[in-house]
Chain A
Amino acid sequence: MSLNVDTGRVRRAPTPPRGSRHAGRKPPGSGLLARFDLRVTPYVLISPYFLLFAVFGFFPLAFTLWTSFQKYELAGEARFTGLDNYVKLMGDADFWNAVVNTVGIFILSTIPQLILALLLANALNKRIRGRLFFRLGVLIPLVTSVVAVAVVFTQLYGRDYGMINWVLGFFGVDNIAWQNEKWSSWLAIATMVDWRWTGYNAIIYLAAMQTIPKDLYEAASIDGATPRRQFWQITVPMLRPVIIFTVFVSTIGGLTLFAEPVLFNNGTMSGGSTGQFQTVAMYIVEKGFRQFEYGYAATVAWMLFVLILIGVLLNYSLVRRIGGGR
């Protein structure tokens, strides 16, 4: 996704329009038509978005909530069953397995990704020849498609012919069946996510780094701060708003992870023989569109939202502490 969202910014986004000294001045020819134009046209301009939202946003969300209280399957009528689905979900080991997988892959991918992106941005921020070349180079993964990434990496992680096992072989490691274990499949999927998004985050950090006043660093140098200390004590705290933004985006993206784990297992929803890398999004599709338990799938969908909410709030409160309290 993209970058102009930032919680700090969001709060003060709707700045009151400037030039309010003109308020109340009627434009010439303020007949009925002109007044209609002033009063109604703004709503006309925003109406396409809100019409779309009503049909493809509000309706699906509300109806998902309603469906989640029903026993609703392919065969048979939908029947209101209250909280039954939710009760069933709480004791559903497959669901909790999917939650653990999703959160595990998310942590395994996001933390190294953002730290690497910070270091990479710091390196890109140095004076170096061929700046554009390096910036474009780190962004290249972004323009490949998710499916392409998943397909190529799945082949690279192949047990018998994959290049990664071949390279590990030089270090005396036996061929690993990456799909078979939780840790190895999570790691493989996390690298796919990281490969695609690290450069993108680095470019965003880089942009923010360039707005940090250089005299801060000069003053720190004079005081004898090492470059490493300057990085952690000046750069990182100054980047806090942007870091919050990237964490926010990674959380939503990471918790809805779908394409990579699906293609890691030939396009199936099961996430391996014992569901070792089945994510919540895959579980929704499996329940709703492979087993046609619509009501139950809707319940899982709402829990996914709750999961995202918890993730966003938790990460936000964690990241807010960066450089704070000093």
Chain B
Amino acid sequence: MTTIAHAGRQRRAHARPSRRDPFAATPLTKAALLFTIFLSVFPLYWMVVIASRTTAQAVDVPPPLLPGGNLGENIARVFATEDAHFVTGMTNSLIVSSTVTLSVVAISTLAGFAFARLRFRGRKLLLGSILLTMMVPIQQMGIVPLYQLMVNLEWTGTLQAVILPFLLNGFGVFLMTQYTEQAVPMELVEAARVDGASTMRIYWNVVLPAVRPGMAVLALQTFMLNWNEFMWPLIVLTPDNPTVQTSIAFLTGQHTTDYALIFTGTALSVLPLLVVFIVFGRQIVGGLMEGAVKA
């Protein structure tokens, strides 16, 4: 026993020449990585520093480097700044982003299942057309007719005007097609058919449980993308019924120099995404990396 263990240890020690291993991080690499992390985190930290200071301190030279004690007061001020409608903006963004996310995931899993595991005429052509349109920034290019459409429907200033155009998400269909192909073996679908299951039943009982990880990645990305949407809400919504992003843009436009106020609003707007990141960070990294490897 001991000899074998010893030999094993020896061999391992041999396979890893301590100094000249090209895969080990050098001190320089470590320092560079730490510096990168510092650069990544600093603007966020700075946001908190200013958000917790008074308006006067925010423009001090040299700049304050530590958080102060005014965060609560600043938050109250953001909520009390009536013309920014910040609370409405946060609520609207939550409603819009969640609605879009749920719908996109539903639409994409349905279509992904059909494209990956069902046979029908025109399948390749239709899937190809989705891939092509993914290259077109539709919401930006078609902004004039989309706006006209909303005017004609008398939907300007309403939430459905910001929700509906973003339900169209070719990337989602593509991702779920890829994921279903990989996660649901054809044999499984056919076995279910032989057992007499209808297509919808297969979707519900076979496909959905298997593609859940793919759904999670799509959901997170869709939520982040829509939480961040700026151009379209800026045009189609009114300042008294904004999303959180346009509310902050309004704050910066109207209270130009009150950085403590603006930064507090900004920090609050990032909070939901940060919570998602802290809870699901590991899955996000995993999902991103898995997706990249498949590509």
Contacts and interface: CB of A to CB of B under 8 A. Distances in A.
Given A17-B119, A48-B110, A56-B167, A161 B59 contact: yes
Contacts of B193: 27
A163 interface: yes
Interface residues of A, number: 119
A297 B252 contact: no
Chain B's interface size range is 35 or more
Given A140-B41, A143-B224, A259 B230 contact: yes
Given A5-B171, A46-B110, A123-B29, A204 B24 contact: no
Contacts of A9: 178, 294-295
Contacts of B203: 45
A301 B142 contact: yes
Given A13-B178, A139-B284, A259 B262 contact: no
B266 A152 contact: yes
Contacts of A146: 228, 230, 245
B115 interface: yes
A245 B295 CA distance: 8
A127 B21 contact: yes
Contacts of B175: 2, 4
A205 B253 CA distance: 38
Interface in B21-41: 21-26, 29-30, 32-33, 36-37, 39-41
Contacts of B290: 207
A161 B115 contact: no
Contact of A13 (B131, B133, B288): B131
Interface of B: 21-26, 29-30, 32-33, 36-37, 39-41, 43-44, 46-47, 50, 58-63, 106-108, 110-111, 113-115, 117-120, 123-124, 126-128, 130-131, 133-138, 140-149, 164-165, 167-168, 170-171, 173-175, 177-178, 181, 185-187, 190, 193-194, 196, 198-200, 203, 217, 221, 224-225, 227-228, 230-231, 234-235, 244-245, 248-250, 252-253, 256, 259, 262-263, 266-267, 269-270, 273-274, 276-277, 281-282, 284-285, 288-295
13 contacts: A2-B171, A2-B175, A5-B131, A13-B178, A48-B111, A56-B142, A132-B282, A137-B37, A146-B245, A161-B60, A210-B289, A252-B137, A288-B147
